Amino acid sequence: MTVMHYVIRRVQGFDAPIKAKEQLIFHVGYRRFSASPIFSQHTNGNKFKMERFLPQNGVVVSTVYAPIMYPPAPVLVFNENSQLVATGSVLSSNPDRIIVKKIVLSGHPFKIHKKSSVIRYMFFNRDDILWFKPVELFTKYGRRGHIKEPLGTHGHMKCVFDGQLKAQDTVCMNLFKRVFPKWNYNPCLIASRTNNNHEEQMLQE
């Protein structure tokens, strides 16, 4: 067992949303199994952003825990109703491929004085502010800044930006967390039609 990555594309005519970690059935080469994949962008680089849904257009990388299979083995993906969802091929068996989920924290200006502002509602205790102090801040109006120091014990913090904020602006912080697929690999055994017919004949006799 290892971390398998498949490059897949949604089939035309299937428009229902497919959420990440939804139970799907995979036909990979001669193997058939069910698993809950996570989706990520198929781009160059060493870190790849997680997609929360299977996109309507373009290719995406589907990642599951499964037995090793070598490219370019074909991949067919079905939902639990046996409808064909996507097709593709094996990309690689690489547990070092980093998939990250993006989370955006937001806060609001409480007091504004030139390039310095007091921000609230992003954090609610002093320890969190100190922990995330090195992370860059940005606003919806295009300002960039950083945390200077926490104020008090209830999550207020003093921040410095490259310009004066507007009262209606929103201060944001991007956070990224590495994610992994669910460990729920389940092989699907298919009884041959010949064996089924033979069993039916024996029961009739």
Q: Which residues contact 9 (CB under 8 A, 6 or more apart)?
A: 58, 59, 60, 86, 87, 88
- Identify which of 67, 84, 79, 154 has the alpha carbon closest to the alpha carbon of residue 119: 154
Domain residue limits at 48 = 2-96
**Per-position pLDDT tens, the chain of length 205:** 999 999 999 999 888 899 999 999 999 999 999 999 999 999 988 899 999 999 988 899 999 999 999 988 999 999 988 899 999 999 999 999 999 999 999 999 999 999 999 999 999 999 999 999 999 999 999 999 999 999 988 899 999 999 999 999 999 999 999 999 999 998 987 554 444 555 555 555 5
Q: Is residue 182 situated within a structural domain?
A: no
- For the chain, what is the domain count? 2
Residue 92 and residue 149 in one domain: no
Torsion sign (Cα): 80, 86, 90, 93? negative
Residue 84 and residue 119 in one domain: no
Residue 150, CA distances (Å) to 27, 115, 120, 123 in order: 53, 17, 10, 10
Q: What is the pLDDT of residue 7?
A: 96
Q: Is residue 185 situated within a structural domain?
A: no
Residue 91 and residue 109 in one domain: no
Q: Is residue 64 situated within a structural domain?
A: yes
Q: Is residue 137 situated within a structural domain?
A: yes
Q: Is residue 193 situated within a structural domain?
A: no
* Single pTM value for the model: 0.76
CB 35 within 8 A of CB 92: no
Cα–chain-centroid distance for residue 197? 44
Last residue of a domain, one of 43, 73, 96: 96
CB half-sphere exposure, 166, CA atoms < 13 A: 8
Place of tokens 């209606």: 168
Residue 28 and residue 75 in one domain: yes
Q: How many Å apart are CA 197 and CA 195, to the nearest integer?
A: 5
